């Protein structure tokens, strides 16, 4: 066995089954390659990456755990993201969202922080979009 080899059982393996997914095109506007790990909150990745951040709040790369995606300087890449499982509470990363992905005030604050800190693809808005996974009337 070689270090880093994946050993799988028989049959198909499905990751992130049943979770909402979205594809976004990402452009690296910086002068250095950027590597993003499988579970990093994509909304909060490197500010030099330009993409529609509105679509990515509460999402991470839809790739196997422990793997990553690399985007070269000036490069463009389409990535597929999926929703986080669990309670939707995210803390850390770049400090844009420190709370629940379904909390409307936390979402609005995350969008404002991204804009203030110069994250590419962040847009000024009066109101952040509601989480599409949240049902109307749900608390």
Q: Which residues pair with 60 in a beta bridge?
A: 82
The CATH number that applies at residue 42 is: 2.10.150.10
Is residue 99 in some structural domain? yes
Asked whether the predicted pLDDT for residue 139 surpasses 70, the reply is: no
Q: What would the pLDDT profile of 15-52 be if each residue is shown by its tens digit?
A: 999 999 999 999 999 999 999 999 999 999 999 999 99
Q: What is the mean pLDDT of the chain?
A: 89
Tokens of 105: 């005030």
Closest CA to 48 of 70, 78, 26, 22: 26
Residue at token pair 């080899």: 5
User: What percent of the chain clears pLDDT 90, i.e. is strictly above it?
Assistant: 69
What is the structure's pLDDT at 132? 46
Is residue 34 in some structural domain? yes
pLDDT class of 125 with cuts at 50, 70, 90:
low
Q: Which residues pair with 26 in a beta bridge?
A: 77
What is the structure's pLDDT at 124? 66
CA separation, residue 128 to residues 21, 73, 99 (Å)? 19, 30, 15
Domain span holding position 33: 21-116
As a three-state string, the secondary structure of 1-39 is CCCCCCCCCCCCCCCCCCCCEEEEEEEECCCCCEEEECC
Asked whether the predicted pLDDT for residue 130 surpasses 80, the reply is: no
Is residue 128 in some structural domain? no
Asked whether the predicted pLDDT for residue 69 surpasses 90, the reply is: yes
Is residue 15 in some structural domain? no
User: Domain total for the chain?
Assistant: 1
Is residue 132 in some structural domain? no
């Amino acid at each position: 066995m070689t270090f880093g080899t994946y050993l799988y059982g028989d049959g198909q393996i499905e990751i992130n089954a049943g979770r909402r997914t979205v594809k976004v095109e990402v452009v690296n506007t910086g002068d250095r390659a950027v590597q993003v790990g499988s579970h990093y909150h994509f909304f909060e990745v490197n500010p030099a990456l330009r993409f529609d951040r509105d679509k990515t709040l509460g999402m991470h790369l839809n790739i196997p755990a422990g793997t990553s995606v690399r985007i070269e300087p000036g490069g463009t890449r389409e990535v597929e993201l999926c929703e986080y499982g669990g309670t939707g509470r995210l803390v850390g990363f770049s400090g844009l969202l420190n709370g629940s992905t379904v909390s409307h005030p936390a979402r609005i604050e995350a969008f404002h922080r991204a804009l203030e800190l110069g994250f590419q693809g962040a847009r000024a808005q009066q109101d952040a979009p509601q989480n599409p996974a949240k049902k109307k009337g749900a608390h």
